[in-house]
A = this chain, B = another copy of it.
Amino acid sequence: MNVREVGPRDGFQNEPEVVPTDEKLRLIGLLAASGLKRIEATSFVRADVIPQLADGAEVLRRIDVPGDVAISVLIPNERGLENALRLRDRFQEINVFLSASETHNRKNVNRSIEESLSGLERVLGRAREEGLRCEGVISVAFGCPYEGHVPPERVFAIARRLRDAGAEEIGFGDTTGMANPAQVRSYFPAARDALGEDVELTAHFHNTRGQGLANVLAALDAGVRSFESSFGELGGCPVPAGATGNIATEDLVSMLHEMGVGTGISLDALLEAARAVQEVLGRPLGSHLLTAGPVEWNDSPR
């Protein structure tokens, strides 16, 4: 099972205080030490817009993880990619994003979906020239807080554009926690039909309404083998206010291990990273495992 940790980007971006660079590097080191093989480390966005990630270049330069850990960088546009490419040898993957609804995309990046897609197609083309693996993330893929139902066909049409431009992986984001397990069970087989066998389909669920792990279970049933999550249950979407909460990586890994699904991750080591970020941020985080601890027979790693 593939698990990508997105806390160092998605989580830290949404913190009111800037996490010191040294702490970011220490926490990323702890995450990598747990056996996670995919870590979204930072983003190349404008420092005046997102000061929390203004140290992206320094993070990449100083990051020190085993060679089999794929470091991913969120790229908003062509300028962001050119900035990141100055450190081309320090990361292996990029991810680009847009929303499945016009309203959400406009509020998030002030562009139409078509404008976003045109720009991202150029980004993906350039990234592939540089040998980078590319993920295209589609926000509000299961429902939009502004527009309500989002037709899956519209999401899959966007996904096909991203795939054709070079994305080897499509992330389906439940940005404000509107997905439900019945929907998820029919969604991913339809996505597979629409996108073919060669694209990795990744589920990115939020726990906004408490259904995060139920949706993971439904996605497993539907053949999904790739998930994104955030240690401590950090992160979420700042639009609209109150819509927070990726599923917690340690809660996800605990459930998978209890079910007998291997991840290659040490739950104990992952909890060490989660306790460390909780200490750095200085407040109780939303993760359940941080409070309850693992079930006693949940040995690790699996």
Q: Which residues of A contact B (CB under 8 A)?
A: 143, 145, 148-149, 176-178, 180-183, 207-214, 216-218, 242-243, 247-248, 251, 254-255, 258-260, 287-289, 291-292, 294-297
Q: Which residues of the other chain, B, contact A210 by a CB distance below 8 angstroms?
A: 207, 212-213, 247-248, 251, 254-255, 287-289
Q: Which residue of B lies closest to A288 (CB)?
A: B210
Per CB-CB distance, the 9 closest pairs between chain A and chain B, nearest first, are: A180-B258, A210-B288, A182-B259, A210-B251, A213-B214, A214-B214, A214-B217, A208-B292, A209-B288
Tell me which of B181, B182, B255, B291 contacts A211 (CB under 8 A).
Answer: B255
Q: Which residue of B lies closest to A294 (CB)?
A: B209
Q: Which residue of B lies closest to A142 (CB)?
A: B295
Q: How many copies does the complex hold?
A: 2
Q: Which residues of the other chain, B, contact A183 by a CB distance below 8 angstroms?
A: 258-259
Looking at the assembled complex, report how far the CB atom of A182 sits from the nearest CB atom of chain B, in whole angstroms.
4
Q: Could you tell me if A209 and B289 are in contact, using CB atoms closer than 8 angstroms? A: yes
Complex-state Cα separation, A242 to B251, whole angstroms: 17
Most B CB atoms within 10 A — which of A218, A254, A255, A294?
A: A255
- Known A-B contacts: A149-B297, A209-B288. Give 15 more (CB < 8 A): A177-B288, A180-B255, A180-B258, A180-B259, A181-B259, A207-B210, A207-B288, A209-B251, A210-B213, A210-B254, A210-B288, A211-B255, A211-B258, A217-B218, A242-B292
Complex-state Cα separation, A247 to B213, whole angstroms: 13
Tell me which of B214, B216, B258, B291 contacts A242 (CB under 8 A).
Answer: B291
Q: Could you tell me if B148 and A255 are in contact, using CB atoms closer than 8 angstroms? A: no
Looking at the assembled complex, report how far the CB atom of A39 sits from the nearest CB atom of chain B, in whole angstroms.
22
Q: Could you tell me if A258 and B182 are in contact, using CB atoms closer than 8 angstroms? A: yes
